[in-house]
Chains A and B, each alone.
Chain A
Amino acid sequence: MAKRDRLSGNEAVAIALRQINPDVFPAFPITPSTEIPQYFASFAANGEVDTEFIPVESEHSSMSAAIGASAAGARALTATSSCGLAYMWEELYIAASNRLPLALALVNRALSGPININCDHSDSMGARDSGWIQVYAENNQEAYDNMVQAFRISEHNDVRLPIMICQDGFITSHAVENIELLEDEEVKGFVGAYEPENYLLNPECPMAVGPYSVTDYYMEAKRNQAEGTRHVERVMLEVAEEFEKLSGRAYGLFEAYRLEDADRAVVMIGSAAGTTKDAIDKLREKGEKVGLLKIRLFRPFPADAIAEALKNVKAVAVMDRAEGYTNQGGPLGADVMSALFRARSSALAVNIVYGLGGRDVRVEDMEQVFAELKTIIDNNDAGETYRYMGVRE
């Protein structure tokens, strides 16, 4: 029985965590994710959860402690943003290579410098090759729903990898929206108990974790780890199907919005997708065939499915809320273009960097992007494939 509530994205994620009632939650505050551990600390203080909440002295330590807790046999997670995630960088790789299914509630924020507290995706994009599963949300509802599904994906025996549940700083983390919550018991039943086979606190059999590996083993270890990644798409869809039965809300690897017959498409991640949908609705009223592919699963990258969904479009704008400093664009652009190339797509594609450090994205901006795509089709030439949107020049 769902109940409606008006919640910020941070509150929604914190409530999901209360309902999950994890075993260990180490955390260190950083804007804009601070509220998540703050809300959670009050749940712990009031006995609404029996989690061990550990207010550590840094983000490096919050991830280190989460790794220790997860290896010990606990369901563990932490939350962070921006420089906090950058500070954890080394630990992200260790969590993934140890095959520890812990979670991270990430509230996306620009990386320094200059220091900036607003949204872009440079933090999580920096961690894209760490071996973590990365799932993104457009709005508060999705942030909540993704958090509820997180442990089911990461703890699955075929996966056993850490998972990052991302939402846009301030835009969703602090904005209040009407969302539907599941009942506590429903979440508890859906998430289930965590029962690892090997763990440090197993009284039956000791375990050693974190070896030194000589060259003779290292490459095989990395290939072995990649095998977990290969199962993520399937498991994520299975979990989504079960979640839909429970909640009535459908999820896939991405959302295709009015894409079926579109000749022009935008591919993007996060909250600006909502703005883009508004632009699409306006343009559709005028008879323009425009659509959106909104990424939900970014790591691993569902390249085949994305290329398939884009197979009929003539022009694509891939929107990156992060610079890649490759002189080619951003990371999403590189991945989508590579997916199109592998699928022998003939679509003309450009990569547009936008929204850095919280720069606003307006409906008109997205209408302009679709107009540019029209020009590209008309000229049968993508022109400059590495562009900026919303920068003064």
Chain B
Amino acid sequence: MAYNFKETMNKPERLAPGHRMCAGCGGTIAVRNVLRGLHEGDKAVIGNATGCLEVSTFTYPYTSWEDSYIHNAFENAGATMSGVEGAYKALKRKGKLSENFKFITFGGDGGTYDIGFQSLSGAMERNHDMVYVCYDNGAYMNTGIQRSSATPMYADTTTTPVGSQSDGKPQNRKDLAAIIAAHDVPYVAQTTFIQNFKDLHIKSEKAIYTPGAAFLNIMAPCPRGWRYNTPDIMEICKLAVETCYWPLFEVVEGKWILNYEPKSKKPIEDFLKPQGRFKHLFKKENEYLLEAFQKEVDRRWEELLFRCSGTVNR
């Protein structure tokens, strides 16, 4: 798909300002750029799991959404949109609706990886014509930075605090994109904010216009939870990709495709160092933790390369 950056930026905004997300939030950067994947003139219904995004973008009576929007609860964004999409099919079939609508649901990693996992799995397995977008900031940020199954290992969160007997979160993060790919849905992709957002835009457009269920996992840094210098978000995302912590890939009809391979993989320290949640890893006595983290990143990267059979595509 051709990507004309300036034309894409010229599209009307579909997320209005005046929402109450924190200054520098990665969540709304994800939302704005996903919605640019909609073709102009196409209507959409946006779904949303409870979380920062929901409480901040629809605080009565202020909605930031230019399209129809539904928030139901925390754990059921997938099921709720299943019903909306079902209504669309039924009303079309009965001749009560002639316009075309697209269906896009947003959830944080709490609403997606964890409490909303069953509902998401059901919606994906039933292959509703919808896109589920996880803006993954790797913890329950809305309730105050508690660990999730998306939290990277060793991260200092309020429920995995670093202490004399704790190095932060003991477990590695769950690979949700792979799990959703195992649902055999037509389109799954992982992306983040890189350069001129070409990767994110193309994947959003594909996800929206692929018939059937699609899933996007977007790393969306949270300056408060990750404790980096807020203006540096693009640098953080770049380091996540260059260290192979957050690889860019897609799974199209079951085929794994690696979208980017760094020329020389950067050490994981480069990604971890600017973030306060990993500060303890840089104490002299914790070198072995960094080594373990690196080993885990390497293992997952090798596994991904194997899945993609070493192919790099775009």
Contact = CB atoms under 8 A, between A and B. Distances in A.
Q: In the complex they form, do A and B come into direct contact, defined as C-beta atoms under 8 angstroms apart?
A: yes
Interface of A: 23-24, 26, 50-52, 54-58, 60-62, 64-74, 76, 90-91, 94, 200-203, 206-214, 217, 221
B43 A61 contact: no
Contacts of A203: 43, 97-99
B82 A56 contact: yes
Contact of B87 (A60, A69, A209): A69
Contacts of B259: none
Contacts of A201: 45, 68, 84, 87-88, 91, 97, 99, 101
B91 A23 contact: yes
Contacts of B125: 57
A116 B23 CA distance: 53
B291 interface: no
Contacts, number: 171
B60 interface: yes
A211 B69 CA distance: 10
A209 B76 contact: no
B82 A211 contact: no
Given A23-B94, A200-B70, A203-B99, A212 B54 contact: yes
A68 B60 contact: no
B28 interface: no
B76 A60 contact: yes
Contacts of B82: 26, 54, 56, 61, 64-65, 68
Interface residues of B, number: 47
A210 B63 contact: no
B94 A65 contact: no
Given A24-B86, A200-B87, 13 more contacts: A55-B126, A61-B118, A64-B83, A67-B83, A69-B86, A73-B91, A94-B73, A201-B87, A201-B91, A208-B58, A210-B72, A212-B56, A213-B60
Given A57-B118, A214-B59, A65 B68 contact: no
B98 to A, nearest CB: 8
A211 to B, nearest CB: 4
**Which 9 A-B residue pairings sit nearest by Cβ, starting from the closest?**
A68-B83, A65-B83, A57-B122, A61-B79, A74-B87, A72-B87, A210-B71, A64-B76, A69-B83
A68 B70 contact: yes
Contacts of B72: 64, 67-68, 91, 94, 210
B71 A52 contact: no
B84 A68 contact: yes
